[in-house]
Amino acid sequence: MLREHRPYILKRLDQAFQVWYAEYFLRPHFDYLGRGGTYMKPWHVEVFGGPISLGDYAHVIAAPDKRVRLTVWSTLETGGRISIGDYCLLCPGVRISAAREIIIGNSCMMAHGAYITDADWHGLYDRSNSALAVAPVRLGNNVWIGDSAIVCKGVTIGDHSVVGAGAVVTRDVPPYTVVAGNPAALVKELDPAMPMKTRADWMADPRGLAEEFAIIDRHHTKGNTWAGWIRSLLFPRKGD
């Protein structure tokens, strides 16, 4: 498909349905699910165990072949938990698996296929015991985890840092740092004096931002008809 064929009203109804689905089917599985969230294909989001919390104005994108999975699977007496802050982005294929504690700050972005875990899930010598190698993971504010990157147990990533695509992070990452590779190593230090615009800044006026997106949707669906949309589904042709 080269362009959007749905009429504007149908696209808006689809968006409203996805929010309703998240509220009705996902919210009961969260200890806390914030307000103002945006969800794409929320029926491909899996939430298991708890407590799991997701802050305000989250943006969660899932896909049939790349489900978003938030899992607390703890054999510890104290249990485990996942806490994700406000304004965070979870892309298709993101997996967050906690045995003890994973805390993610505000305005964090987790790209396609990113994996964050606080456990090895099996010991090197006792592979029947999943509680041997466990250490909390903490991400500061405005952290960006790149495509298919892995954040391992015991890691703390400082504010505004970036983890490159495919990196495997086994050690702490200081604030304002870019790391990449396996194991992840320093690539660049960011300038703290430079202005940093976060997702929280971008969504400071949620109503105004929603109106901007509505204008964009109207522009991209201008001239679309119900008949044209049905035709594109049943009888697709070159240029659709």
Give the residue numbers marked as catalytic: 122
138-162 burial string, b = 16+ CB within 10 Å, else e? bbbbbbbbbbebbbbbbbbbbbbbb
Give 28's DSSP letter: G
Q: Side chain identity at 10, as an amino acid letter?
A: L
Give 199's DSSP letter: H
Sequence-distant (≥ 6) Cβ neighbours of residue 188 within 8 angstroms: 177, 178
The DSSP secondary structure of 25-78, one letter per residue, reads IIGGG-SEE-SS-EEESGGGEEEESS-EEE-TT-EEE-BTTB-EEEEE---STT
Q: Side chain identity at 125, as an amino acid letter?
A: Y
223: left (phi over 0), alpha (psi -120 to 50) or beta: left
Find the angle CA(88)-CA(101)-CA(134) to the nearest 5 degrees. 130
Q: Side chain identity at 34, as an amino acid letter?
A: G
